[in-house]
Amino acid sequence: MANMQGLVERLERAVSRLESLSAESHRPPGNCGEVNGVIAGVAPSVEAFDKLMDSMVAEFLKNSRILAGDVETHEYQEDRNDLVISETELKQVAYIFKCEKSTLQIKGKVNSIIIDNCKKLGLVFDNVVGIVEVINSQDIQIQVMGRVPTISINKTEGCHIYLSGDALDCEIVSAKSSEMNILIPQDGDYREFPIPEQFKTAWDGSKLITEPAEIMA
């Protein structure tokens, strides 16, 4: 985390330098010398940008490894069932944004996974040490092959979670969501259990007691 904070501070300083170089580029052409190690002239800000991309920005992206659809292109994905992230690290956060009708497999162990604004997405992963979050999405299917301590579902319509035998102690936290189901492995198959969407709350004389409400016919 300290290394990431240092990179962010360096990036902020670099942006200030680029602004200074951009101002220099509007001066009349001539021998402008060097500005922050970059030869000024026709377009010093362009040269500075290239140097920045080859150094600290590349290092920042390598360490953060934020994913938006495909890890290599950072583009939104649609109708893709062959997305695989095989090179993972414990510190990685996988951010999957606006993917539709696609399937993504994440191998190895990562820190956390975020699914944001996706539709008809299938996610298969091995192990997560932190949390898997599903936000503002529709028709999501998640299969846990290993372990995950917590799965959070927020503002989502349709979320089906297949737990492995090692992930049965996973905690599910949900809010403002519907059509959620947990599938538990039993006798070589899965048994489906719905997550309650309605609750009733009553005062017991000293505190509020909340429990799932039975659906009235």
Domain boundaries, the chain: 68-212
Q: Copy the structure tokens of residue 45.
A: 């800000």
* pLDDT above 50 for 65: no
CATH number for the 68-212 domain, one of 3.90.470.20, 2.160.20.70, 3.30.470.30, 2.40.170.20? 2.160.20.70
- Rounded-to-integer distance, Cα 17 and Cα 144, Å: 46
Do 68 and 76 touch, CB atoms closer than 8 A? yes
Can you give the pTM of this predicted structure? Answer: 0.65
What is the identity of the amino acid at 126? D
Q: Which candidate, 146, 134, 147, 116, places its Cα nearest to that of 195?
A: 134
Average pLDDT over the chain, rounded to whole? 78
Q: Is 118 in contact with 95 (CB distance < 8 Å)?
A: no
Output the six-digit token pair for 8.
């962010």
Q: Give the mean model confidence (pLDDT) for residues 148-160.
A: 97
Residue 37 confidence (pLDDT) above 60: no
Residues 6+ positions from 34 with CB-CB distance below 8 Å: 40
Q: Which residue has the tokens 């993972």?
A: 88
- pLDDT tens digits, 82-108: 899 888 888 888 889 899 999 999 999
Q: Do β-strands 131-135 and 34-35 pair in parallel, antiparallel, or remain unpaired? A: unpaired
Q: What are the Cα distances from residue 6, in Å, to 35, 92, 98?
A: 23, 17, 30
Residue 142 has pLDDT above 60, yes or no: yes
Q: For residue 75, give the 3-state DSSP assignment.
A: coil
Backbone angles phi, psi at 61, to 5 degrees: -65, -35
Rounded CA-CA distance 144/105 in Å is: 10
pLDDT of residue 24: 56
User: Is the pLDDT reported for residue 21 higher than 90?
Assistant: no
Contact call for residues 113 and 128 (beta carbons, < 8 A): yes
